[in-house]
Structure 1
Amino acid sequence: MTALATELVHGRTLVDPDLFDRLTDFCAEEYGLERCVAERVMDQGLAFLDVMGRTGEGLSPSQKVDPAWHTFMLHSAEYTTWCQERYGRYIHHAPGSRYRDKATMVDVVSKLRVAGYMVDEGLWGTKADCSEPTCCGDGPCC
């Protein structure tokens, strides 16, 4: 019997490529990130928002992923339309509503995985510790 391979989904597919690029550029500039890091942040942020939107659960993003939510919300027309069209409601941001400890992030990561999303462990604080600046040899853009 052959198992079927399931391809993981990327958060970036939830918005038009042009919007993803604009959000990524803004995130990079606003938060002083390399563009490749901002792409990772936006990808994970969109996946995170989709899980919250679909489940209705109040979840916390990691500190590294939170800029994606702020970036999208600052593009208020696009964010409002996206929320309304996908979930029939606006997904509000309630700062400090949950803690960002490792256990909370592991819970969020598991929900992303259950939803079929690719998870970038380095942005959630769930990756094994390693020494900077090599970051276990994979660098900031891997």
Structure 2
Amino acid sequence: MTATTTLDVRHGRDLVEPPLFQRLAAFCAAEYGMELPLAEAVMDQGLAFLWTMGSTGKGDVMAPSRQVDPAWHTFMLHSQEYAQWCEKNFGRFLHHAPNSKIRGIALMLDVTDLIRRAGFAVDRKLWGVAAECNEPACCGDGPCC
């Protein structure tokens, strides 16, 4: 008999209650002109990003891709829920302080590695690190990834 090990992969969407996730995804879709399935994927990745950033304290070396950043904006616009979530999970507010980081492939690979190491599924297309991505035309900032 062979023993098998199943690794549980986490999903960002599971970090908030389902009704809140649905409200956030619907808002993201409407605000950013996305189809709902894409907005759900963006919110899922955004929540995984925020959790990883908040739980590791590596916000100074992390940045969301341009495709995932709307998730952070969406959650912050639901300020009461966002503030409560941050306080409950990290004991502090996760500020969104834009910086001069270039959202290049190297940074996105580092960020997705941190998210993966935190146990989350990573949708590589939303981070600009998909295998079919070709630099410099596509590094997470364009529609091809």
Q: Could you state the TM-score of these two structures normalised by the residue count of structure 2?
A: 0.87
Q: In structure 2, the residue corresponding to 1:86 is in which secondary structure?
A: helix
Code of the residue aligned with 1:88 in structure 2: it is: G
Q: In structure 2, the residue corresponding to 1:39 is in which secondary structure?
A: helix
Deviation at 1:98, TM superposition (A): 2.1
* Structure 2 residue aligned with 1:19: 20
Equivalent positions of 1:1-142 (< 5 A) are 2-58=3-59, 59-129=62-132
Q: Could you state the TM-score of these two structures normalised by the residue count of structure 1?
A: 0.88
Contact preservation (8 Å) 1:60, 1:97: no
Structure 2 residue ranges without an equivalent (≥5)? 134-145
Aligned equivalents of 1:69 and 1:122: distance in 2? 18
Deviation at 1:10, TM superposition (A): 0.4
Structure 1 residue ranges without an equivalent (≥5)? 131-142
Aligned equivalents of 2:113 and 2:49: distance in 1? 11
Deviation at 1:129, TM superposition (A): 1.9
Code of the residue aligned with 2:11 in structure 1: it is: H
Contact preservation (8 Å) 1:8, 1:116: yes
Aligned equivalents of 2:72 and 2:127: distance in 1? 14
Q: Deviations over 1:69-118 (max 9, x none)?
A: 00000000000000001000000001134221000000001011101100
Report % sequence identity: 56
Equivalent residues, number: 130
Let me know the Cα RMSD of the aligned residues: 1.1
